[in-house]
Amino acid sequence: MTHLPMAATAILALTFLAVMGHSGLAATPKCNAELRKCNSHCNLVYESGRAKRTCRNRCKDNFYGCKARPS
């Protein structure tokens, strides 16, 4: 039974580190809206799967660029 508090503490610590380490993953609502609009555009304009994937990859690149820009 002594391992249970140690395990709970370890899980709590790892969760805290994960949240603090990846806080940069949160995007602004503007960037999220741009990504949704871009993906919707890809779905409407392109018919082939390859073209849609290429378009979506371009959307992801733009999304990461948007997140990197200072607010």
At residue 61 the predicted structure's pLDDT band, cuts being 50, 70 and 90, is very high
DSSP 8-class letter at 69: S
Determine contact, residues 34/66, Cβ cutoff 8 Å.
yes
Task: State the Cα torsion 35-52-64-25 to the nearest 10°.
Answer: 70
Note down the domain range covering 8: 3-68
pLDDT, tens digit, 9 for 90 and up, residues 1-52: 566 666 656 665 666 555 444 445 578 999 999 999 999 999 999 999 999 9
The C-alpha angle with vertex 65 and arms to 62 and 69, in degrees rounded to 5, equals: 140
Coil, strand or helix: which one is 2?
coil
User: Per the structure, how many domains does the chain have?
Assistant: 1
